[in-house]
Amino acid sequence: MANQPAGETERHKATVRDEFTRQAPVYAAAPIITDAERLARLVGAIEPGADDRALEVATGPGHVAMALAARCREVVGIDLTPAPLEIARRLSRERGIANVRFELGEADRLGFADGEFNLVVCRFAFHHFENPEAILAEMRRVCAAGGAIAIEDLFASEHPGRADRYNHCERLRDSSHTRALAPTELIAMTARAGLEVERLYSMSARAEVEPWLAAARTPPDKAASSASSSARSRSSAASCERRKARRRINVWRAARAGRARRNTAAAPCAGRSDRFRNR
Ligand SMILES: C[S@@+](CC[C@H](N)C(=O)[O-])C[C@H]1O[C@@H](n2cnc3c(N)ncnc32)[C@H](O)[C@@H]1O
């Protein structure tokens, strides 16, 4: 379609596959990914109904999809990378979850009909997309009118310099990181997609250097060489990550941004003002 935003390049998809094939086992077991309380908070914000059909885009090892399956009729998780999908299938089998399935798929060209799902969810993946706008458009396409879209992701500072430095550090750690957006960019993108933000909130987590590197399986040469050069170069991964250990990683969540409100009495968007503080 002429006005359709461009999707992901094959080159970037190959980078994503390389990273998440390498990271798959460690990532799947990382506490920040498996934490039941966080998952419950996200699922609570989504408010799934027993009759809902949900899609998780970029499901990875499937933790969100499996948490949703306990509350929905059916859940489908898609991902570009076979390795985490194999873990997701194994875990769902071991847990006896029969109403979830995992398929190979591309977020920028979802293999589903318009309006097939009531809920479309994506956690911790927008910062891996080259063209988040195109992917949000696809998520909207497969979401039924009155359905809900939920996105949870890292967010960057509103301060351009700080945001650039933060994204630079993330790319050193994981080459498939593209760019974490600032809150105002996320909100603007949601509006351009024709969605209405119904809920928006943030939470913080401290990133300890070692587990944070370990979860991404950052190659030792990158971490070590940057450690030795960190005294000379502020752009090395180690110097960035040392700084990061003292900072908070911000998690942005927007939930229930639907084409039309399913519940017209739903609360308007509420947010914490510190999300927008220029630090
Ligand atoms: C950080 S993991 C998040 C996994 C999962 N959503 C979670 O919260 O644990 C990012 C995932 O996005 C997937 N991904 C990145 N780009 C994608 C794309 N264009 N289409 C489908 N999956 C993609 C990767 O393969 C990887 O499994």
Position 85 scores a pLDDT of: 98
Q: Name the domain count of the chain.
A: 1
Choose one of 17, 20, 35 to mutate for the ligand 1 pocket test, by most ligand atoms within 8 angstroms of C-beta: 20
- 173: Cβ contacts below 8 Å, ≥ 6 apart: 212, 213, 216, 218, 237, 241
CB distance 164 to 42 below 8 Å: no
Which atom of ligand 1 approaches the CA of 8 most closely?
Answer: 19
Residue 264 Cα to ligand 1 middle (Å) = 32
> Would 222 be classed as within a structural domain?
no
> Would 272 be classed as within a structural domain?
no
| CATH code where residue 14 lies | 3.40.50.150
Tens of each residue's pLDDT in the chain, 279 residues: 445 557 899 999 999 999 999 999 999 998 889 999 989 989 988 889 999 999 999 999 999 999 999 999 999 999 999 999 999 999 999 999 999 999 999 999 999 999 999 999 999 999 999 999 999 999 999 999 989 999 999 888 889 998 998 888 888 888 999 999 998 998 899 889 988 888 888 877 666 666 677 777 777 766 654 333 333 334 444 555 555 544 344 454 444 444 444 432 222 222 222 222 222
> Would 197 be classed as within a structural domain?
yes
Position 222 scores a pLDDT of: 65
> Would 50 be classed as within a structural domain?
yes
Tokens of 262: 């399913």
> Would 199 be classed as within a structural domain?
yes
**Sheet hosting strand 74-79, strand order edge to edge:** 100-104, 74-79, 53-57, 117-123, 143-154, 248-255, 199-206
Tokens of 248: 């908070």
Residue 8 Cα to ligand 1 middle (Å) = 13
Q: Please give the model's pTM, rounded to 2 decimal places.
A: 0.83
Question: Nearest Cα to 252, choosing from 232, 272, 236?
Answer: 272
For the chain, strand residue ranges (E) read 53-57, 74-79, 100-104, 117-123, 143-154, 199-206, 248-255
> Would 80 be classed as within a structural domain?
yes
Residue 231 Cα to ligand 1 middle (Å) = 34
The Cα–Cα gap between 176 and 15 comes to 6
CB distance 88 to 59 below 8 Å: yes
As a three-state string, the secondary structure of 183-205 is HHHHHHHHHHCCCECCEEEEEEE
> Would 67 be classed as within a structural domain?
yes
Position 179 scores a pLDDT of: 95
In this structure, the residues whose C-beta lies within 6 A of any atom of ligand 1 are 8, 16, 20, 33, 58-60, 63-64, 79-81, 84, 106-108, 123-125, 128-129
Range of the domain at 113: 10-156+176-206+251-259
Which residue, judged by its Cα, is nearest atom 19 of ligand 1?
107
